[in-house]
């Protein structure tokens, strides 16, 4: 009997546990809150990630540990890795936690990135804005996600307000200034690397965000083979450089046919949720196969898929359940503004059928605006 430990007990841990059940796996989840939604499917240990007694209890019950959450303190990942196998390795996790370290690595590997500069203090912010120009974005180096911990500087007159908003964090989580990329599209590569270095990627995904939070994903993204090849090469170079084991996502901006790397997510990713029904092997199952050293599954797509995120509260399920290719995922969470509470995936044989299904679902759920950019892309 193999038990997989997951640090973080949100929807990603929940979907990992669900996908591991057919493999006969057991799970333990460590989370800071007692109502973490993965706890509905796997025994939950409630404790702080820095609490050694909670970590010790967790370590004594599992064969291998992984993450549903990238902001687990690096020291905790190191502490665990001295006792049990931990994948991805703590160095990879540490680099992915820090936007500055991550972008520096992208650059070293020849992966194009937006302009960026470290902002340790106010004088450095002035110098960085002068060098990079406006518009630009001030971000926390660590602990930011879903557009949180960011301030857009539209003109030099906004620098004061940006410093007022985030300056206090320069000394704690650090700050980075990035050039604003007027991208045409946002894409992601979701990929997996095994313990033996085998690499596989799912077809490229196109993503639409609202207020910095993912709203919809379409796979396969409509890109030419050259662009897809470059995206895979970037993802592979990164995974090899980090000796990464497991699933990760590389988020990319597409501008004038050039791919610029935004962020590496060291875990299964929201833009890969469509793989549950849209691919031969889901990102969740392949992540488990990778961390356990099992053969990786085929990442081939089955038709065309679109995932719609439900933020704040679940809509009425019937409009999706009625669809032949409709799949519903309710994470069992309490509704709360801005919270990811569920998603739906629609799958169809052909793009035109997917566009028709999305149009019906948009109308039935009152989500016309959410489906509109995807329908437009499919019709293009």
Binding positions for ligand AMP, 260-289, rule CB under 6 A: 262-263
Among positions 197, 212, 293, 335, the unique one binding ligand AMP when judged by CB under 6 A? 212
Those residues whose C-beta lies under 8 Å from the C-beta of residue 338, and which sit 6 or more positions away, are 213, 311, 312
Binding positions for ligand AMP, 166-195, rule CB under 6 A: 178, 180-181, 186
Q: State which H helix or E strand residue 125 sits in.
A: helix 122-132
Binding positions for ligand AMP, 102-131, rule CB under 6 A: 114
In angstroms, what is the minimal distance from the CB of 207 to ligand AMP? 7
Which whole-number Å values give the CA distances from 369 to 31, 166, 343, in the listed order?
A: 35, 32, 16
* Burial class of 209 by CB neighbour count within 10 A (0 to 12, 13 to 18, 19+): middle
Among positions 73, 85, 112, 147, the unique one binding ligand AMP when judged by CB under 6 A? 147
User: Is the alpha carbon torsion for 244, 245, 251, 257 positive or negative?
Assistant: positive
DSSP one-letter code for 361: H
Of all residues in this chain, which one has the CB nearest to ligand AMP in the complex?
181
In angstroms, what is the minimal distance from the CB of 1 to ligand AMP? 38
Q: Which is nearer to ligand AMP, 16 or 261 (CB)?
A: 261
In angstroms, what is the minimal distance from the CB of 231 to ligand AMP? 16
Regarding 209 and contact with ligand AMP (CB under 6 A), the answer is yes
Burial 161-183 (b: 16+ CB within 10 A, else e): ebbeebbebbeebbbbbbbbbeb
In angstroms, what is the minimal distance from the CB of 163 to ligand AMP? 18
Q: Which is nearer to ligand AMP, 49 or 208 (CB)?
A: 208
Q: Which is nearer to ligand AMP, 4 or 265 (CB)?
A: 265
Q: Which is nearer to ligand AMP, 197 or 212 (CB)?
A: 212
Which whole-number Å values give the CA distances from 51 to 10, 11, 70, 78, in the listed order?
A: 19, 23, 17, 13
Among positions 132, 137, 239, 305, the unique one binding ligand AMP when judged by CB under 6 A? 137
**At 167, phi and psi to the nearest 5?**
-55, -40
In angstroms, what is the minimal distance from the CB of 98 to ligand AMP? 13
In angstroms, what is the minimal distance from the CB of 274 to ligand AMP? 17
Q: Which is nearer to ligand AMP, 166 or 245 (CB)?
A: 166
Binding positions for ligand AMP, 226-265, rule CB under 6 A: 251, 262-263
Strand segments (E) across the chain: 3-7, 26-31, 44-46, 64-67, 116-118, 136-140, 150-153, 175-179, 185-193, 199-201, 205-210, 213-219, 246-255, 258-265, 304-311, 326-330, 340-348
Which whole-number Å values give the CA distances from 3 to 43, 139, 296, in the listed order?
A: 11, 37, 19
Angstrom distance (rounded) from CA 134 to CA 331: 40
Q: Which is nearer to ligand AMP, 98 or 251 (CB)?
A: 251
In angstroms, what is the minimal distance from the CB of 132 to ligand AMP? 10
Q: Which is nearer to ligand AMP, 6 or 252 (CB)?
A: 252
Contact residues: ligand AMP, CB under 6 A? 114, 137, 144-145, 147, 178, 180-181, 186, 209, 212, 251, 262-263
């Amino acid at each position: 009997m193999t038990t997989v430990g997951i640090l973080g007990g949100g929807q990603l841990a929940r979907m990992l546990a669900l996908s591991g059940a057919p493999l006969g796996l057991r799970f333990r989840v460590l989370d800071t809150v007692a109502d973490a939604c993965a706890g509905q499917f796997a025994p939950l240990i409630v404790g702080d990630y820095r609490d050694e007694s909670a970590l010790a209890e967790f370590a004594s019950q599992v064969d291998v540990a992984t993450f549903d959450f990238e902001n687990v303190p690096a020291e905790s990942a190191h502490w665990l890795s001295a006792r049990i196998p931990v994948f991805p390795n703590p160095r990879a996790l540490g680099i992915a936690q820090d936007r500055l370290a991550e972008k520096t690595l992208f650059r070293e590997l020849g992966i194009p990135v937006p302009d960026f500069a470290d902002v340790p203090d106010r004088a450095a912010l002035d110098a960085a804005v002068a060098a990079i120009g406006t518009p630009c974005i001030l971000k926390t180096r660590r602990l930011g996600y879903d557009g949180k911990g960011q301030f857009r500087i539209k003109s030099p007159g906004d620098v004061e307000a940006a410093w007022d908003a985030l300056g206090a964090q320069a000394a704690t989580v650090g700050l980075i200034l990035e050039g604003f990329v007027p991208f045409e599209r946002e894409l992601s590569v979701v990929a997996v690397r095994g313990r033996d270095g085998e690499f596989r990627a799912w077809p490229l995904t196109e993503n639409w965000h609202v207020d910095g939070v993912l709203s919809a994903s379409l796979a396969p993204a409509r890109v030419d083979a050259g662009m897809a090849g470059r995206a895979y090469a970037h993802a592979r170079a990164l995974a090899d450089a980090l000796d990464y084991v497991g699933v990760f996502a590389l988020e990319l901006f597409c501008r004038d046919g050039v791919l610029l790397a935004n962020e590496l997510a060291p875990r299964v990713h929201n833009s890969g949720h469509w793989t549950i029904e849209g691919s031969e092997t889901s990102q969740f199952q392949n992540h488990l196969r990778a961390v356990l050293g099992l053969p990786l599954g085929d990442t081939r797509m089955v038709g065309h898929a679109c995932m719609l995120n439900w933020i704040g509260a679940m809509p009425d399920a019937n409009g999706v359940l009625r669809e032949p290719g409709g799949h519903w995922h309710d994470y069992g969470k309490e509704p709360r503004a801005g919270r990811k509470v569920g998603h739906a995936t629609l799958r169809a044989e052909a793009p035109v059928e997917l566009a028709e299904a999305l149009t019906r679902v948009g109308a039935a759920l009152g989500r016309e605006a959410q489906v509109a950019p995807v329908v437009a892309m499919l019709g293009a």
